[in-house]
Structure 1
Amino acid sequence: MESHTDLVVVGGGIAGVSVAYELAVHGRVVLLEAEADMPVHSTARSAATYIPGHGSGPFRALIDASGPRFRVLQTELDTPPLLSPRPVLHLGDDDAGAAGIVAMLDEQRGEPNAPIALDPAEALRRAPVLRRPPRAAAWTAGSADVDAIALHDGYRRGLRARGGTVLRGARVSAITRDGGGWLVETAAGQRVLAAAVVDAAGSWADEVAALAGVPRVGFTPLRRTIAACPVPDPSVLRVGGAPLPLIADAAERWYLKPEADTVLVSPADETPQAPGDARPDELDVALGLDRVGEVTTLGLRSVRRAWAGLRTFAPDRAPVLGQWPDRPGFHFVAGQGGSGIESAPALAALAASVIIGAAPPADIALDPAVCSVTRLRPA
């Protein structure tokens, strides 16, 4: 039950499998996943969208760089198509929403794949399910649905093909310094000696750091609820032969995403919750349906199923990479918030370069220092 390796990656979600895959060309990698199955938590519960311009500035750079990388990974990992085009219609239906449109257009002006302003009448034409033309609207043409399960499975298979090891049901119980490296122990009795540890444990990232005596970063897991609602007339989910776009409130109070004969509805909630198995709150589900019902004519009356996931943010909502100067060999790859899947290809490559001390990939227009954990050094 004891093994030696170069790198231990803790966490089998999209962050863990993607960075483990990138690191496996540089040394032996063991990936530890606490659950018996993978993915289980946030990765398996995401709305799985790729939206250029989404999130904070660092995430926008990573998402832009990930677009071409998704196409490369499809071939490299031998997966089904990872991206399916799905534009996003951003709505400003009231004062707050209209202000959100203005802020979005201003903040992203000049960036690659930036949204464009859309005439309200044109917004209604592209989304006839709206009750009325919005006060303001914007359109992101380069967005897409992501096959998150195919992406995760491809990374996992790719890791094994590169000689990596995946251990499931391996919940980490202790991490201690061992000479010049680290000893990672699990509740199942495994002991792994490694030169370095990569903390990619998502909502549990601070808890894993604490096991190693490493300062907590201050990650906050926030619950988000999604409900799949059948549509009485599924024909309204297509416009001129094309799928209805994802429609999102520019003030981030709700969004809907068509999927088969349902729409995924979310109130875009952000409720702080301790790391764990997130469950949907009935009031949040009702709130999402109510907000969508005020703006659309979809006539949603029931919920086929509902779920919730945890989106984990650093205090400044930028990703967290690297090690504290006085904790050599213990690295963070965490704080992906609601952009973990859409930014995974570029973020994993950038994180791997930081961990091995190499130059960042040339196609990623982001200084890794912006993501360094040292920016959050405790006072």
Structure 2
Amino acid sequence: MTYDIAIVGAGIAGAALAAEVAPHAKVLILEAEDVAGYHATGRSAAFWEETYGGPAVQPLTAKSRALFDAGGFLQPLGSLHIGREQERGLIEDMLAQFAGTGVDLSLVDPRERIAGLRPEWNLAVWEPSCAYIDVAALHAAVLSRAKKAGAELVLDAALTGATRTGDRWRLDTKAGSFAAKILVDAAGAWADDVAAMAGAAPIGISPFRRTLVQLRVDPPVPDDAPHVAHIGGDFYFKPEAGGRLWLSPHDEIPSDPGDVQPEELDIAIAIDRLEQAVDWRIERVERSWAGLRSFAPDRLPVYGFDDSVPGFFWCAGQGGFGIQTAPAASLVAASLLLGTEPDPLVADIDAARYEPARFR
């Protein structure tokens, strides 16, 4: 059997794209692990934050909101971007960056919103629209849509070879060999490896480790507390059920693709940075984990056909914003992949800024 489209990777990028194209083509999804979404998707503490990723990513995030709301995947959260007097310039830069974009931002005193915040943290931008994403439900929903439309998911199918003859790909995997007209690289941290296997020049998509820690603190964190991020990028934290706190040192440690684990030093750094911001007492670390975030050199996603290898399509480099942009990004990528007019929801997004040809 020859599939119209074979997608390598069943994380949020591959699964969401499969859901959009499966009604129009015969789709195969090849996943290296024994469960879909094991790596970046399954380890995400994702939240929908319109400013995250910068102004060039913001259109994808904004257009995704309606689809998230329709599916019931969001819970109100709100976000405080906090700083000290010496970081006033960063606060002003953030407001200037998003002026005219429609993002609702305002200056507030963070000490009135976060009990226990140390007095030197006197500046903040309030982003009320920030919301927590139910990542597991979202991922399950797009995979279900893809399967109902006829897409086939094969697990334990790590790609070991990709050879194009004529207008067909022969794809060798640990689960056997398959044939497809188009090969989609949605392999996340492994995107450049898959490209090289298929004879395409790697773009320079680099994976970085991100650490998360679940803490018990005293006093307990209220469930209605907002997400809080340092304007300088040194940490962020958010409430978790039962008075817990999820904390990250906002680290980006270059890493090889793989099953990454948290390092004790990064956990210690995260706690130290938290203690410099609040006077809460750390009772205990309940658990910690790490995931990979993969960025292209310009930190924008990559959607489109490779300009030197026929039938090879990129859907990668989605960094830490892949989940919050997935609904709109999959519509953009699907129109490029199928050669159709874009969905009206994303018709005003300039897809050319995300195409791989910008690196050639």
Deviations 1:7-41 (A, max 9, x none): 00000111010001111011011101000012211
* Counterpart check, 1:267 vs 2:249: yes
DSSP-derived class of the 1:315 partner:
coil
Structure 2 residue aligned with 1:88, among 56, 79, 85?
79
C-alpha distance in structure 1 between counterparts of 2:205 and 2:300, whole Å: 11
C-alpha distance in structure 1 between counterparts of 2:304 and 2:173, whole Å: 23
Q: CA deviation at 1:57?
A: 2.5
DSSP-derived class of the 1:109 partner:
coil
DSSP-derived class of the 1:113 partner:
coil
What is the correspondence of 1:236-275 to structure 2 with a 5 Å cutoff?
Answer: 236-238=221-223, 243-260=224-241, 261-275=243-257
Instruction: Give 2:44's aligned residue.
Output: 46
Q: CA deviation at 1:222?
A: 0.8
C-alpha distance in structure 1 between counterparts of 2:10 and 2:208, whole Å: 19
DSSP-derived class of the 2:136 partner:
helix
Q: CA deviation at 1:362?
A: 2.8
DSSP-derived class of the 1:64 partner:
helix
Q: CA deviation at 1:232?
A: 3.0
**CA contact 1:91–1:98 (8 Å) conserved in 2:** no
Deviations 1:30-66 (A, max 9, x none): 1010000122111111111000111133311100000
Structure 1 vs Structure 2 CA RMSD: 1.3
Q: CA deviation at 1:70?
A: 1.2
* Counterpart check, 1:201 vs 2:187: yes
Question: Do the aligned partners of residues 177 and 32 (structure 1) sit closer, same or farther apart at CA in structure 2, a change above 3 Å counting?
Answer: same
Q: CA deviation at 1:183?
A: 1.3
* Counterpart check, 1:191 vs 2:187: no
Q: CA deviation at 1:363?
A: 2.4
With normalisation by structure 2, the TM-score equals 0.96
Q: CA deviation at 1:133?
A: 5.9
C-alpha distance in structure 2 between counterparts of 1:94 and 1:296, whole Å: 16
Q: CA deviation at 1:308?
A: 0.7
What is the correspondence of 1:22-171 to structure 2 with a 5 Å cutoff?
Answer: 22-72=20-70, 74=71, 81-95=72-86, 97-118=87-108, 120=109, 123-132=110-119, 134-171=121-158
Instruction: Give 1:277's aligned residue.
Output: 259
Question: Do the aligned partners of residues 114 and 55 (structure 1) sit closer, same or farther apart at CA in structure 2, a change above 3 Å counting?
Answer: farther
C-alpha distance in structure 1 between counterparts of 2:40 and 2:289, whole Å: 10
Report the AA paired with residue 244 of structure 2.
T
Report the AA paired with residue 367 of structure 1.
D
**CA contact 1:64–1:112 (8 Å) conserved in 2:** no
Report the AA paired with residue 38 of structure 1.
A
> What residue ranges of structure 2 are gaps of 5+ in the alignment?
none
**CA contact 1:56–1:317 (8 Å) conserved in 2:** no
C-alpha distance in structure 2 between counterparts of 1:69 and 1:221, whole Å: 28
- Displacement over 6 Å in runs of 4+: none
Report the AA paired with residue 48 of structure 1.
A
**CA contact 1:22–1:352 (8 Å) conserved in 2:** yes
* Counterpart check, 1:360 vs 2:342: yes
**CA contact 2:111–2:122 (8 Å) conserved in 1:** no
C-alpha distance in structure 1 between counterparts of 2:269 and 2:293, whole Å: 19
Q: CA deviation at 1:94?
A: 4.7
> What residue ranges of structure 1 are gaps of 5+ in the alignment?
75-80
Instruction: Give 1:308's aligned residue.
Output: 290
Structure 2 residue aligned with 1:372, among 345, 355, 358?
355
C-alpha distance in structure 2 between counterparts of 1:298 and 1:30, whole Å: 50
**CA contact 1:98–1:250 (8 Å) conserved in 2:** no
Report the AA paired with residue 83 of structure 1.
L
C-alpha distance in structure 1 between counterparts of 2:252 and 2:42, whole Å: 18
Report the AA paired with residue 102 of structure 2.
P
Q: CA deviation at 1:69?
A: 1.5
C-alpha distance in structure 2 between counterparts of 1:13 and 1:129, whole Å: 38
Instruction: Give 1:223's aligned residue.
Output: 209
Deviations 1:175-220 (A, max 9, x none): 11022121111023x2211110110000000000111011101011
C-alpha distance in structure 2 between counterparts of 1:93 and 1:277, whole Å: 37
C-alpha distance in structure 2 between counterparts of 1:331 and 1:309, whole Å: 25
DSSP-derived class of the 2:285 partner:
coil
Instruction: Give 1:176's aligned residue.
Output: 163
Deviations 1:255-304 (A, max 9, x none): 01110121011110111011111111111111111111111122124211
**CA contact 2:306–2:314 (8 Å) conserved in 1:** no
C-alpha distance in structure 2 between counterparts of 1:94 and 1:38, whole Å: 45
**CA contact 1:224–1:270 (8 Å) conserved in 2:** yes
Structure 1 residue aligned with 2:279, among 293, 297, 306?
297
